[in-house]
Amino acid sequence: MIRLSAFFRLTSAGWALVRADALIPREVEPLLPPSARWAGRFLRLFRGPAAKRGRPGQRLAAVLEKQGPAAIKLGQFLSTRADIFGAAFADDLAHLKDRLAPFPLTVAKAEIARNLGKPLGEIYAEIGEPVAAASLAQAHPATLLDGRKVAVKVLRPGVERQVQRDSAVLRLAARLAETLAPASRRLKPTQFVEVVIRALDLEMDLRFEAAGCAELGEAMAFDPYMRAPGVVWEGVGKRVLTLTWAEGVPLSDPGALELPGLDRKALAENVTRGFLAQALDHGLFHADLHEGNLFVAAPSAITAVDYGIIGRLGPGERRYLAEILYGFLNRDYARIAKIHFDAGYVPAHQDMDAFAQALRAVGEPVFGRDAREVSMGRLLAQLFEITALFDMALRPELVLLQKTMVTVEGVARRIDPAHDLWAAADPVVRRWIGRELSPAAKMRDFAEEALRALKALARLTEAPPSEPPAKTERPRAWPLLWFLTGAATAGAAFAAGMLLAR
């Protein structure tokens, strides 16, 4: 029954796109290959009255808004890439970030009181009309009893059921893609969809978001690039979240980039560096950094909100990411290729030298050029061709990272069209490389490994409690010798590390 319902919702969504001429819009026909051009002409035989109204982005936004949270999030992502899809298209989708139709304040107040289990007057002096409404929740300005201004986020009524239905549709679409388009299996649609669904499920519990905001706030405090609001824990429940008020103007506001004294170049760099510092230095990052979730103030201050999706990287992934970026910064394509093979991103049977050559073909035309002269659409198409040529499969554990990197670069380039991603990334990447891969760091790691080995050795040499050594047996000398040798090695390594660190 669930699959049948998902099938009808999927076909209904496809039909809505066709009727609105939003699937293969007539405006893009001159840019398409002949096969897609003929497909678009065939689909337009079934278009409806909505196909005659507005631009492609406006028609697509109208369809996505009616399809539910997952479709709206797709629109939010597309709206960050004006450099790929065009400024008009991105602007037409922009309202999906935080300007959807809100639900009434009375409903929100009732939900807040029910969820927190106490009257509103015990926490808030005042709660105002919603100032932002997105796919899953809306935000209200409020004042605490002690006079502090806060933002109260409340989930939409019935949104959990909508997400559940969307999840069923996504799973069905992934299975159909794998069945009907065998070439898509390299991209692992089902695993990709499960990552998306898991992120949506976590967004349904605002207690997790509060914890993510607090954790990332601590990480952000180490650098000046980005800040997080404080969590008001007495105002947190499964469907309610209270945060200190984010100062500034949302970046989705049309006038945000015209604020007096705003340094657009520094602001764009802070977006890129803030994300990379989170991912590389702390192994966790805000994974939904679109304009609606970023508040800006002159000259270049950024406060990020909405911590429903948090990405995490293990030590290995962090190291691979840093070394790949470092390799591009130094135009060392052989090193980049080797890291891809070491990480398993490229199958071992492929030719490493040929892969390095392909990377050079991508990287060299970009370096030294103004970002406005680089076609991101063409660059992404070339990268996709390379992944197919070298049989590179989707890495589900990196989906959030890759999606966020694409979003962050799109946001940064919209702030500053001349934004140089590599120049912005340089200080953060080199700082990580200097700290983690320097001779001092290697000696430190060696000392830590030696200490771990000594602890393991000490456990091995301990006699089991149930079998005490015979009184007549003389203690063996080799465990003591190993211990002394290991201790000397660890001490020497530690001392050398300290000297190099100086």
- 259 vs 251: CA distance, rounded Å: 11
State mean pLDDT over 179-184: 81
State mean pLDDT over 484-492: 42
- pLDDT tier, 498 (very low <50, low <70, confident <90, very high otherwise): very low
Does 424 have pLDDT greater than 80?
yes
Read off the pLDDT of residues 230-239 as tens digits, 9 standing for 90 and up: 999 999 999 9
Sequence-ordered list of residues with C-beta below 8 angstroms from that of 140, at least 6 positions apart, any chain: 105, 108, 127, 128, 129, 130, 131, 151, 152, 153, 154
Mean pLDDT over all residues of the chain? 84
Sequence-ordered list of residues with C-beta below 8 angstroms from that of 438, at least 6 positions apart, any chain: 500
Residue with tokens 């406060």: 303
Domain ranges of the chain: 2-96, 160-200, 255-437, 439-501
Residue type, 29: E
For residue 470, give the 3-state DSSP assignment.
Answer: coil
- pLDDT tier, 446 (very low <50, low <70, confident <90, very high otherwise): low
Read off the pLDDT of residues 152-166 as tens digits, 9 standing for 90 and up: 999 999 999 999 988
Q: Which of 187-201, 278-292, 300-314, 359-373 has the lowest mean pLDDT?
A: 359-373
Q: Which of 82-86, 275-279, 407-411 has the lowest mean pLDDT?
A: 82-86
pLDDT of residue 29: 81
Read off the DSSP letter of residue 281.
Answer: I
pLDDT of residue 462: 64
DSSP 119-187: -GGGTEEEE---SEE-SSEEEEEEEETTS-EEEEEEEPTTHHHHHHHHHHHHHHHHHHHHHH-GGGGGG
**CA 125 to each of CA 142, 148, 150, 384: distance values in angstroms, whole numbers, following the listed order:** 7, 10, 11, 54
pLDDT of residue 467: 53
Question: Does the reported pTM lie above 0.85?
Answer: no
Read off the pLDDT of residues 271-321 as tens digits, 9 standing for 90 and up: 999 999 999 999 999 999 999 999 999 999 999 999 999 999 999 999 999
Does 502 have pLDDT greater than 60?
no
- The most confident of 33-47, 71-85, 106-120, 354-368, by mean pLDDT: 106-120
Does 77 have pLDDT greater than 50?
yes
Does 221 have pLDDT greater than 80?
yes
Containing 249, the helix (H) or strand (E) segment is strand 249-250
Residue 273 contacts residue 427 (beta carbons within 8 Å): yes
Residue type, 402: Q
How do strand 137-144 and strand 132-133 relate by DSSP bridges?
antiparallel
- 285 vs 290: CA distance, rounded Å: 13
Sequence-ordered list of residues with C-beta below 8 angstroms from that of 205, at least 6 positions apart, any chain: 238
pLDDT of residue 371: 66
State mean pLDDT over 64-79: 85
Does 486 have pLDDT greater than 60?
no
- 93 vs 313: CA distance, rounded Å: 30
- pLDDT tier, 174 (very low <50, low <70, confident <90, very high otherwise): confident
pLDDT of residue 444: 61
**CA 180 to each of CA 175, 176, 186, 287: distance values in angstroms, whole numbers, following the listed order:** 9, 6, 13, 31
Query: Where are the strands (E) in 282-381, listed by range?
Result: 284-286, 294-297, 301-304, 310-312
pLDDT of residue 89: 86
- pLDDT tier, 349 (very low <50, low <70, confident <90, very high otherwise): very high
Q: Which of 155-169, 316-330, 432-446 has the lowest mean pLDDT?
A: 432-446
Tokens of 197: 């669904």
- Catalytically annotated residues: 288
pLDDT of residue 480: 41
- pLDDT tier, 386 (very low <50, low <70, confident <90, very high otherwise): confident
Residue type, 235: G
Read off the pLDDT of residues 109-145 as tens digits, 9 standing for 90 and up: 999 999 999 999 999 999 999 999 988 999 999 999 9
State mean pLDDT over 185-192: 82
